[in-house]
Chain A
Amino acid sequence: MSTAVMKNAFQSVFRNPRYVLASALISLFMFFIFILVNNSSTFVTLLGLNSPPTLLVEVITNGAANILDASGIALFSSVILVSILSGITISMIIYKRQMTKSFGGKKNLAGFGGIFGGAVSSGCSACSTTVVSILGVAGGLSIFPLKGLEISLLSIGILVASMYFISKGLVESDRCSI
């Protein structure tokens, strides 16, 4: 039932190539943002030194290589998946806004929680003390059995749930209530 709802909504949204393109661009942008957020201090330093833009690009590509090399293929894949799901979710929210002139309530916007989770759990080039202070324990993400992949999986879950609620809203908006 839920699969059929999502399938119908996907067909409605992505039959328009503009939304496919928007989704791809937003996914790419989100991946860039996830790495940027986790390397923000380096960006601030380089911008302060008036460094060339090529150096900023190098920090991004190095950030991606760092995740793959130091955190492993599972976390790297989860970052890409969260980026793609973020792109799809945001495109669907834009579509819904265009169609119904409404963002559709808190459930639909829950996807932003998933995006935030993705930003926290991914893209870092350092062993972060931020998470240590949030959790209040030594070890940070390394204390989790999956070394922090749990947060990424939670983000994926939130994004999928959000997509479902947006889909449901879209399908329901296509018909008139009795």
Chain B
Amino acid sequence: MTLGYFIGNAIPIGSNFQSNNQSSVTNTGVTTDQPSKKIAGSVNFDIPSFAKFKGSSSATINLVEFGDYQCPFCKRFFEQTEPQLYKEYVDTGKVRFYFLDVSILGDDSVTLGQGAWCADEQGKYYEYHDYIYSNQGEENSGWGTPDKVKNLVENIQGLDVEEFSQCLDSKKYESRTEGLTKFSGQLGLSGTPTMFIGNSEMGYTVITGAQPYSVFKEVIDKGLG
């Protein structure tokens, strides 16, 4: 249903979500003389310019995960599928992995999402991502309040907690986390984790849920040709 709606369409993005040069796409339905490489049922969108990735900048395929830091299925994906994906595709330079936070499970999700961008100011975006998922608490049990998050990040090596705390208290990334949630809604996100696999030429194939590694392998291998 959602897929059908987005077939061949590019998703417009907000003004504060400037496209990343490496992955920007023409945001129109204009036809060109060149044959289309687009995969049927794919979604097209611009990866926000501030998004951080793991892997080689020359990788031809992007895997963009939209996840909620409180979501147990995102933790399951992080623990069971991500390591294999890194080993086979990210570390080998074939795939670029992006994680973008969405906040669908409550206020603590918003706080945890903002924390990621505060950690990013110190170059610790994925260290924060890995640590938070490794130490995830129960949904809305209070483990993701600002004070708890500040305590949690004390264990992230090389992170200045004082600086992080000031950033978190300032709520300077509140609009970014809210914007990402809104953006994911525009993409037709029906749950977390949702992964978009592809690139601007072929479009993005959507996989929702903590699916097994073999599902991702199937989609990526088809994308790599």
Question: Footprint of B on A, CB under 8 Å?
Answer: 38-39, 41-42, 44-46, 48-49, 51, 55, 58-59, 62-63, 66, 69-71, 124-130, 132, 138-140, 142-143, 147
Contact = CB atoms under 8 A, between A and B. Distances in A.
A48 B68 CA distance: 27
B140 interface: yes
B180 interface: no
Contacts of A45: 3, 41, 205-207, 219
Contacts of A143: 106, 140
**Main SS class of interface, A:** helix
A127 B41 CA distance: 23
Contacts of A44: 3, 41
Interface of B: 2-3, 40-41, 68, 70-76, 103-107, 139-140, 185, 189-194, 205-212, 214-215, 218-219, 222
Contact of B105 (A69, A71, A139): A139
A55 B71 CA distance: 25
Given A41-B190, A41-B206, A127-B74, 9 more contacts: A45-B219, A66-B73, A66-B209, A124-B191, A124-B209, A126-B193, A129-B104, A138-B104, A147-B139
Contact of B210 (A70, A130, A138): A70
A62 B211 contact: yes
Given A42-B209, A142-B140, A58 B214 contact: yes
Pick from A39, A51, A125, A143 the residue with the most CB of B within 10 Å.
A125
A136 to B, nearest CB: 13
Nearest to A138: B106
A48 B140 contact: no
A42 B207 contact: yes
Contacts of A49: 205, 218-219, 222
Nearest to B218: A51
A126 B205 contact: no
A38 B139 CA distance: 20
Contacts of B215: 42, 46, 55, 58-59
Nearest to A38: B209
11 contacts: A44-B41, A55-B214, A58-B215, A126-B71, A126-B208, A127-B74, A127-B191, A128-B190, A129-B191, A130-B191, A142-B70
Nearest to A66: B210
Nearest to A56: B215
